[in-house]
Structure 1
Amino acid sequence: MSTQVQSRIRLQRPPWTLLVLVVLFRLGTLLLLRPGGFVYDFSDYGWYRQMAQYSNEGFYPFIHYWMEYPPPFPWLNVLVYRLSLWLPPALDARLWHHWLLGLALLPFDIGILALLHTLARALHGRGFALWVASVYALLFIPLYTWAGWFDSMAVFMLLLAVWLILAERPAWAGFALGVGFLVKVSPILPIVVAVQRFRQPEQGWRGWVSRANVRLVLALAASLAALSLPWLWLNADMFLATFRSLTGRSSWETIWALLSGYFGYGVVSPERFIPAPPQAIHPERVPGVLILFITALFGFWLWTRPLDWKQPRVQIGFHALTLSMFLLASPGWSPQFLTWVLPWVLLVMPLAPSPHQRLTPAWHAVGLALLLSVVNTLEWLYFPLWSAYPLVLALIVIIRTAGLAWLAWHAWRLCRETTRSSVA
Structure 2
Amino acid sequence: MPVMSPTPRENDTTERVEVPLPRETSRELWLLVGVFLSARLMSIWWFQPLHSEVGTFYFPFAWLQGRGVFPFLHYWFEHPPLLAYLVVALRYLSLALCGAGDVAWERLCLVRTTQVASVVWELASLHLLYAMAKVLRGPKAATRACWVYVALFSTGFVSLSFLETFPVFLMLASLYLAFYSKPAWSALVLAGGFMAKMLPVGILPAILKCDARWRWRFLSLVVFLGGVAAVAAPFLGAGRRWLLLSFECAAKRPPWTTAWALLDRRYDFGYVGPGAKDQTPDFFAERSGFGVVPWAREVLEGVPREVFGPPGMNRLVFYHIAAHFATNLAFLDSRPRTGETFLWVYGGVGVALGVFYLLTFARMPSALPPRRRLFLGAFTMFLVFFYAKGWSPQFVLYLVPLLLIAFPLGEGGLWSLAFTILVFLEMPVWVVYVHGRPDLLMADQLLLHGITIARTALLLIVAARLYPRLFND
TM-score (norm 2): 0.78
Q: Does 1:191 align with 2:204?
A: yes
8 Å contact from structure 2 (residues 209, 373) kept in 1: no
CA RMSD of aligned residues (A): 2.3
Q: Secondary structure, in 3 states, of the residue corresponding to 2:254?
A: coil
In the other structure, the counterpart of 1:33 is 47
In the other structure, the counterpart of 1:421 is none
Q: Distance in 1 between matches of 2:446 and 2:472?
A: 39
8 Å contact from structure 1 (residues 349, 410) kept in 2: no
Q: Does 1:373 align with 2:420?
A: yes
When structure 1 is superposed on structure 2, of 16-25 and 290-299 the one drifting more is 290-299
In the other structure, the counterpart of 2:245 is 241
Q: Secondary structure, in 3 states, of the residue corresponding to 1:268?
A: coil
Q: Distance in 2 between matches of 1:22 and 1:275?
A: 44
In the other structure, the counterpart of 2:297 is none
Shift in Å at residue 117 of structure 1? 0.5
Q: Secondary structure, in 3 states, of the residue corresponding to 1:298?
A: helix
Alignment of 1:83-232 (within 5 A): 83-86=93-96, 87-88=98-99, 89=101, 92-199=105-212, 207-209=213-215, 212-232=216-236
Shift in Å at residue 299 of structure 1? 1.1
Deviations 1:162-217 (A, max 9, x none): 11111111221121111111011111221112112222xxxxxxx322xx324323
* Matched pairs, number: 392
Q: Which of 247, 254, 266 is matched with 2:270 structurally?
A: 266
Deviations 1:99-134 (A, max 9, x none): 111222222111110010011112122222112212
Paired letter, 1:370: L
Q: Distance in 2 between matches of 1:3 and 1:194?
A: 13
Q: Which of 382, 394, 404 is matched with 2:430 structurally?
A: 382
8 Å contact from structure 2 (residues 6, 369) kept in 1: no
Paired letter, 1:227: V
8 Å contact from structure 2 (residues 7, 370) kept in 1: no
1:334/1:4 Cα in 2 relative to 1: closer, same or farther (>3 Å)?
Answer: closer
Identity of aligned residues (%): 23
In the other structure, the counterpart of 2:342 is 286
Q: Which of 387, 395, 403 is matched with 1:337 structurally?
A: 395
Paired letter, 1:324: F
Shift in Å at residue 4 of structure 1? 6.5
Gap regions ≥5 residues in structure 1: 200-206, 351-361, 419-424
In the other structure, the counterpart of 2:290 is none
Q: Distance in 2 between matches of 1:154 and 1:167?
A: 20
Deviations 1:383-405 (A, max 9, x none): 22222221110000111111111
Q: Distance in 2 between matches of 1:293 and 1:59?
A: 41
Shift in Å at residue 309 of structure 1? 4.3
1:72/1:235 Cα in 2 relative to 1: closer, same or farther (>3 Å)?
Answer: same
Deviations 1:217-252 (A, max 9, x none): 332233122211111123100111111111001111
8 Å contact from structure 1 (residues 307, 415) kept in 2: no
8 Å contact from structure 2 (residues 54, 162) kept in 1: yes
When structure 1 is superposed on structure 2, of 224-233 and 289-298 the one drifting more is 289-298
Paired letter, 1:378: L
Paired letter, 1:256: W
In the other structure, the counterpart of 1:298 is 356
Q: Secondary structure, in 3 states, of the residue corresponding to 1:157?
A: helix
Deviations 1:318-360 (A, max 9, x none): 111101111111111011111111112222232xxxxxxxxxx
Shift in Å at residue 92 of structure 1? 4.1
1:233/1:4 Cα in 2 relative to 1: closer, same or farther (>3 Å)?
Answer: closer
Q: Distance in 2 between matches of 1:346 and 1:126?
A: 13
Q: Distance in 2 between matches of 1:51 and 1:416?
A: 47
Deviations 1:66-94 (A, max 9, x none): 11011112212122223433434477442
Paired letter, 1:410: R
In the other structure, the counterpart of 2:462 is 407
1:3/1:405 Cα in 2 relative to 1: closer, same or farther (>3 Å)?
Answer: closer
8 Å contact from structure 1 (residues 241, 275) kept in 2: yes
When structure 1 is superposed on structure 2, of 371-380 and 78-87 the one drifting more is 78-87
8 Å contact from structure 1 (residues 254, 331) kept in 2: yes
Q: Distance in 2 between matches of 1:8 and 1:149?
A: 36
8 Å contact from structure 2 (residues 8, 180) kept in 1: no
Higher relative contact order (CA 8 A, sep 6+): 2
Paired letter, 2:243: F
In the other structure, the counterpart of 2:30 is 16
Paired letter, 1:180: G
Gap regions ≥5 residues in structure 2: 14-24, 274-319, 436-440
